[in-house]
Amino acid sequence: MTDHMYRTILLFDIEQYGSRDDVEQAYLRRVLYDVVDATLLGASVDDTARLRADRGDSVMELIDTQVPVPVLVKTLLTETPALLHNKNRLLARSAQMRLRIVLSAGYVAVDELDGWVGSDLNHAVRLLDSAPLRTALKQRDADSVLCVSDGIYQGVVRHGPLGVRPKEFHRVTVETKEGPTVAWLHGEPSPAGNPGEKQQEEQGEARRPRPASVDLGNASFGGSYVAGNQHGVSGGQVTGDVVMGSKTTERGGRE
């Protein structure tokens, strides 16, 4: 096994890949390769600065740390969605490809079978398969959704490099086998991601005081006729018969 080397970790995964037939899967894999290659080319990543692993419905890239991470983030936010749009716009909806994307970093080693190992890599894969990322893509019209690790956010995104707006990312908690971890999703937070708000509203509604009931006796409403004695305008009292509408006599007639 090689020594652990610190690398930028970039993962792409095709949504609903398993529901496609073999012909569609083969086509989607070719499109995925095109999008990944064009993305890294747009970020000026040389072939000698990257190492790829194919996982069927996903592609994993280890990128040399000499490649600026801010450039990668900007490219993923701008060029990658444009590339996907250009690929999808000529296809039927059922044949279009949508991607979950994760950008992370950490130590990774390559074993004697050319497999990649490392807890940082495992962490990135957990983010790629996480519920918040899957839900975000399902609830959006966009062709892709980007998630960055907390390390990438704190070290790069939050400082607002050119072309990257920190306010467009929101914090999520991802449950993993190793315990909860923090990540950052690009785009507006999902309403489903804040279930506590609805519960708080319902509780507040239940605690809100109800209007007191008022017994008006035989008063009727429907017009503007008032009979009897009236004293004052505000805080005073009204005595006698109060009839709003037409006045009813004791014999049931109307005046």
44: in domain: yes
- pLDDT at residue 57 in the model: 87
Residues 242 and 138 occupy one common structural domain: no
pLDDT at 251: 47
| Residue 244 or residue 43, greater confidence | 43
178 shares a domain with 141: yes
Residues 187, 223, single domain; the answer is no
> Within this chain, do residues 226 and 128 fall inside the same structural domain, yes or no?
no
In a domain, 207, yes or no: no
pLDDT in tens, 61-112: 999 999 999 999 999 999 999 999 999 998 888 789 999 999 999 999 988 8
Residue 212 domain flag: no
Domain shared by 132 and 229, yes or no: no
186-207 pLDDT, tens per residue?
A: 998 876 544 433 333 344 444 4
DSSP class of residue 84 equals: H
Q: With bands split at pLDDT 50, 70 and 90, how would you rate the model's confidence at 241?
A: low
Q: Are residues 122 and 238 in the same domain?
A: no
Q: Residue 83 belongs to what domain range? A: 5-191
Residues 50 and 141 grouped into a single domain: yes
Task: Give residues with Cβ within 8 angstroms of 140, minimum separation 6.
Answer: 187
Same domain, 74 and 154: yes
Residue 230 lies in a domain: yes
Residue 108 tokens, joined: 């990774």
Q: Are residues 116 and 226 in the same domain?
A: no
Structural domain ending residue among the three candidates 151, 174, 191: 191
Looking at the fold, whether 58 and 22 belong to one and the same domain comes out as: yes
Please give, one letter per residue, the 3-state secondary structure of 21-61.
CHHHHHHHHHHHHHHHHHHHHHCCCCHHHEEEEECCCEEEE
> Residues 135, 239: one domain?
no
Are residue 234 and residue 161 in the same domain, yes or no? no
Whether 13 shows a pLDDT value over 80: the answer reads yes
How many domains, in total, are found in the chain?
Answer: 2
What pTM value is reported for the model?
0.74
Residue 173, phi then psi, degrees to nearest 5: -110, 125
Q: How far apart are the first and last CA of the chain?
A: 105
Establish if 210 belongs to a structural domain.
no
Provide the CATH number for the domain around residue 78: 3.30.70.1230
User: What is the token pair recorded at 95?
Assistant: 């044949």
